[in-house]
Amino acid sequence: MLRVAVPNKGSLSEAATEILAEAGYRQRRTTKDLSLTDPDNGVEFYYLRPRDIAVYVGEGTLDVGISGRDLVLDSHAAAETILELGFGGSTFRFAGRPGVARSVKDLEGKRIATSFAGILSDHLAENGVKASVVKLDGAVESAVQLGVADVIADVVETGTTLRQAGLEVFGDPILKSEAVLIKRHAVTLQPNGLEQLVRRLEGVLVARNYVMMDYDIRAEAVEAANAVAPGLESPTVSPLHREGWVAVRVMVPRAEAQRIMDQLWEIGGRAILTTDIHACRI
Ligand SMILES: Nc1ncnc2c1ncn2[C@@H]1O[C@H](COP(=O)(O)OP(=O)(O)OP(=O)(O)O)[C@@H](O)[C@H]1O
Ligand SMILES: O=P(O)(O)OC[C@H]1O[C@H](OP(=O)(O)OP(=O)(O)O)[C@H](O)[C@@H]1O
Ligand SMILES: [Mg+2]
């Protein structure tokens, strides 16, 4: 059986369970369950802290897992990304009281609080900056007000928490993160069921990110229309009963659907419809 680690709590937990359920796997009913077997798909799911998932997968105790890119890098575990999952997006950034520093270079000798000591230490070393790292478990934003640190390095999503603490980001983002599916470094033998898991998750991502677009157009305008909406491989073009007209079916990125509809209309597309893709294998 393929053994898969899934975040049990925190920001990634609900979305991870959701994407696996959408990919057709059984998922736990209550947040108290520690593991769950899906015999029909030959998979066992283990619900663990996302920070620990990199360790289990890196050690080879579990085959694959879902975690955050930042947590994986921070752990220095021997794990690598197989697939980016498009949720749990965040940036890892420096923040402090307004004017305290402008870049990492200003942090020599300062005290920096973080719950990602691995990433922070690596970043300081890369920039040749010596500072003291204050490792905290959470609520890092309070560290400056409470006097335990001069600045912080923390996960920023909307920026609300920083604002509430009277802090501002400074310097370049240290890291951009999102949820990722990981496996152990350098395993050549693919465990049974992994290829199926990846293909199913890719299918969910495509179904989420693309819509199906149908429209009618005069045959001589098809080339111009294909330039606007080329599809993943090539659009399907079928003859219409009406002389000189064809029906076109093509996948387009969901985020660009309205712009593409406007452009197709301009070059003569009519009866332009979009429909959601429920599931797919590409
Ligand atoms: N608003 C957010 N807050 C924290 N982590 C976030 C946020 N948005 C995305 N993430 C990502 O979620 C992962 C952190 O998940 P984790 O479960 O450890 O923390 P959490 O959501 O802060 O939960 P907890 O409060 O239990 O620490 C990281 O990969 C982080 O980049
Ligand atoms: O930019 P925002 O949208 O405000 O989100 C980022 C904040 O959310 C997380 O904290 P969380 O609530 O998980 O508490 P924690 O720091 O104790 O983990 C994270 O550590 C930041 O503090
Ligand atoms: Mg947190």
Pairing mode, strands 2-7 and 64-68 = parallel
pLDDT of residue 144: 97
Query: For 63-80, what is the mean pLDDT?
Result: 98
Q: Listing from the earlier edge strand, what are the strands of the sheet with 64-68?
A: 35-38, 43-48, 2-7, 64-68, 179-184, 79-84
Nearest Cα to 233, choosing from 280, 170, 276? 280
Question: Model's pTM, two decimal places?
Answer: 0.93
| Residue matched to tokens 């925190």 | 10
Q: CA 181, CA 65: separation in Å to the nearest integer? A: 6
Contact 197, 83 (CB under 8 A): no
Which residue has the least CA distance to atom 20 on ligand 2?
Answer: 155
Give the ipTM of the model, two decimals please. 0.95
**Rounded distance between C-alpha atoms, residue 70 and residue 174, angstroms:** 10
Percent of the chain at pLDDT > 70 equals 100
Instruction: Give the residue among 43, 1, 39 at the shortest CA–CA distance from 20.
Output: 43
Which one, of 69, 35, 87, 27, lies nearest residue 182 by Cα? 69
Q: How far, in Å, CA of 174 to CA of 114, rounded?
A: 13
Give residue-wise pLDDT tens across range 29-62: 999 999 999 999 999 999 999 999 999 999 999 9
Q: 3-state SS string over the chain? A: CEEEEEECCCCCHHHHHHHHHHCCCCCCCCCCCCEEEECCCCEEEEEECHHHHHHHHHHCCCCEEEEEHHHHHHHCCCEEEEEECCCCCEEEEEEECCCCCCCHHHHCCCEEEECCHHHHHHHHHHCCCCCEEEECCCCCCHHHHCCCCCEEEEEECCCHHHHHCCCEEEEEEEEEECEEEEEECCCCCCCCCHHHHHHHHHHHHHHHHEEEEEEEEEHHHHHHHHHHCCCCCCCEEEECCCCCEEEEEEEEEHHHHHHHHHHHHHCCCEEEEEEECCCCCC
Rounded Cα distance between 243 and 240, Å, is: 7
Distance 7 CA to ligand 3 centre (A): 13
- Residue 89 near residue 175, CB atoms below 8 Å: no
The rounded Å distance from CA 80 to ligand 3 centre is 22
Tens digits of residue pLDDT in 161-209 = 999 999 999 999 999 999 999 999 987 778 899 999 999 999 999 999 9
Show the tokens assigned to 198. Answer: 């990846």
Atom 5 (ligand 1): residue with closest C-alpha?
11
Q: What is the pLDDT of residues 232-269, one digit of tens each?
A: 989 999 999 999 999 999 999 999 999 999 999 999 99
233 vs 131 pLDDT, higher one? 131
Confirm if 44 and 4 have CB atoms less than 8 A apart: yes
List all residues 6 or more positions away from 189 whose beta carbon is below 8 Å from its beta carbon.
none
pLDDT at 86 > cutoff 90 = yes
Task: Tell me which of 156, 168, 174 to substitute to probe ligand 2's pocket, judged by most ligand atoms within 8 Å of the beta carbon.
Answer: 156
| Residue nearest atom 9 in ligand 2 by C-alpha distance | 155
Mean pLDDT value across the chain: 96
Ligand 1 midpoint to CA 60 (Å): 24
Band the pLDDT of 225: cuts 50, 70, 90. very high
